[in-house]
Amino acid sequence: MNLHLRRPGAANAAADAKLVSAKPSSALMIVAVLAATCALLACSKDSVREEGAVDALSDTTDDDAVAAEDTALADATDVTDTADDADAADVHDEQATTDAADEPDLPPVVEPRPYPDAADWGPNAGPGVPARTFTEEELWQNCAYLDGGEKDLTDHHNLVTMYDGYLLMPWAPEWGGGGLTFFDLTDPCAPTVVGSGFSQQMRETHSIGFSHMGGSWAVVNGIEGIFDGGIQFWDISDRSAPAAVADLHMPDFVYPDAYAFLTLSVFWQAPYVYVANANNGIAIVDASDPTQPVLVHTMNFDPVIRTGQIQAIGNLLIVTGAETPDTILLDISDPAAPVEIPGGRFEVRSADDEVRDFYFSNSTGGFIYYARKESGGGVIIYDIHDPSAPQYAGEFHSDGNGAYVFVHEGFAFTGESNFGAVYDVRDHNNITEVNRMQLEGDLDTLTPLGHLTVVAVDDDASPNQGSAIAPWRSDPDTNPPEVTFLWPPDGADDLAITSRFGLTFSEFVDVRSAFEGSVRLYETGTDSALTRVDGYVSAQETIVNFWPAAPLRADTAYTLEIPAGGITDFSGNAIAEPFFAHFRTAP
């Protein structure tokens, strides 16, 4: 509680002046003055006893009365001055409070948080793809073989990739029992093993995703029994000893049918993993903690589609069939609730307008590349720059039987079962075959690594020769990666505040080079150090994604920046020119 003394008014001031000039001599007048003084001081009854004061004053002389009166007046004056000072302080405090209330609310002070330099992600521990030159006679010839180790008994191999400057090879048969092996490619024709790990619950995998949320993690396909299987997470922070750390079962999993009711591929748009489960549709897994993944959502399609390949590029989810002609494009603006894009469901057709099955697919650059398997092999290409109106773009028809396909700098690398082929697809209207490669067995996969290729078979391999390294170009790759597609597109507005942003590049990118310094999102027209958006950056093959850690602000313009010198390919070439795109969220 605050106590306030009232300021004396003009009448009180006049009475004070009269008291000073009159100096009455009666004891009663003095008592009155003392009583008034005591009232101002808020005295208790013990402070001044009127009765005692009268008794004392009756014995005083006039001079004593005058002296007593002067003392009382002095005390009264002190009390009045004290009251004036207190009132003045109160008025000052009240005015300060009023002034503060009149001032506008100021935004909180934001400490600048500059982005790290785009190149501050490295260096890698391994050498990457080496800068070795090959002669014309050495091109297209296998110069080394890769084996997963003593437990790699079946030599059942598929794709490879690079991680931390080392070649990373998953290996496993479809019924389970496989692992991850790292190789040093200082001499690509004499690779050395860095480390290997084994899990009885890992099965044949056609993709491998990565995350750096709290460590170094990978995700592959998994199996534990006839009715138990799904996906498996690995800790790859120690390249010398990668280890499986968690398994997550998918609903309605059934084996031994290798295509109908089990997991065929995974895509990690951190923190979520999108899973293609064949006839069981797709699943979405929260892998914020890869040691404790959580199934978030499943989605079946009507009519049923045997989902094979799954890839997420920002708000766009691309789901294609396995040995079917089917494709579905979905909006994942809400990452846990995919919605089919009207017009985004279609069957692949060849140039003669015939529906064609394909074995598997890959999307990059705003196109889907299908490995044709019906009535011959080769590649069929569809344009999905407008996901609501996919269009046939071109094809090459071979005498093979297509399996898996990857794209590097305008060249498509396909396994064709009895050979591997490289096609020049830079002009979709004039696709040409560049050359072919051979390896004993069911040759289903060619993976491009700069000027090298890894050829792989998934059945009938010669012992310890499930994969081979062969150069396809003489000179080392010196071309920097370039952005080839973006979703949402540049200039998109009315975006959901839960949007993610994805890009594709002209070749596989080093997943460690995709981090907060090389993929930036901030409010347009501001100092990026003050409005930067925190988020999760992840990369898989040619695709890089940014997932904001919290919903974006409504009705706000944002800039996505890919600075020069950041995103890097397997050969150590960094993006040369910065890339910018602009968006706005919905009100």
Is the pLDDT at 67 greater than 60? The verdict is: no
Q: Give the C-alpha distances (Å, rounded to integers) separating 423 from 100, 116, 177, 482.
A: 73, 39, 34, 20
Of the listed ranges 23-32, 145-154, 405-414, 546-555, the least confidently predicted one is 23-32
* Residue 232 CA from chain centroid, whole number: 21
Give the side-chain half-sphere CA count within 13 A for 310.
29
Give ∠ CA 435-358-467 in degrees, rounded to 5.
Answer: 50
Quote the percentage of the chain above a pLDDT of 90. 80
pLDDT at 41 over 50: no
Q: Strand locations in 287-334, DSSP E?
A: 294-299, 307-313, 316-321, 326-331
Q: How far is CA 56 from the centre of its chain?
A: 91
CATH assignment, 483-584 = 2.60.40.1220
Q: Which pair of tokens denotes residue 417? A: 């079962």
Q: Which H or E element spans position 393?
A: strand 391-398
| pTM for this predicted structure | 0.83
Lowest mean pLDDT among 61-65, 410-414, 488-492, 556-560: 61-65
Which residue is associated with the tokens 């050829």?
455
Question: pLDDT of 4-32, one tens digit each?
Answer: 333 333 333 333 333 333 333 444 333 34
Q: What is the pLDDT of residue 130?
A: 95
Average pLDDT on 424-435 reads: 98
Q: Are 185 and 508 in contact (CB under 8 A)?
A: no
Which tokens is 317 given? 């989810």
Question: Does residue 349 carry a pLDDT above 70?
Answer: yes
353 vs 29, more confident: 353
Query: At 565, is the pLDDT very low, low, confident or very high (cuts 50, 70, 90)?
Result: very high
- In this predicted model, what pLDDT tens digit does every residue of 573-585 receive, in sequence order? 999 999 999 999 9
Cα separation, 513 vs 502, whole angstroms: 15
Q: Whole-angstrom Cα distance, residue 559 to residue 118?
A: 16
Whether the pLDDT of residue 98 is over 80: the answer is: no
Write down the pLDDT at residue 27: 40
Residue 49: its pLDDT value, please? 35
What six digits make up the tokens of 438? 């051979």
Residue spans of the domains in the chain: they are 10-102, 483-584
Q: Is the pLDDT of residue 62 over 50?
A: no
What beta strand segments (E) does 384-496 contain?
391-398, 405-408, 411-415, 420-424, 432-437, 443-449, 452-457, 467-471, 483-487
Over the stretch 70-92, which tens digit does the pLDDT of each residue have?
443 344 444 344 444 444 444 44
Other C-beta atoms lying within 10 Å of the C-beta of residue 45 = 8
Residue 331 identity? D
pLDDT at 449: 98
286 has a pLDDT exceeding 80: yes
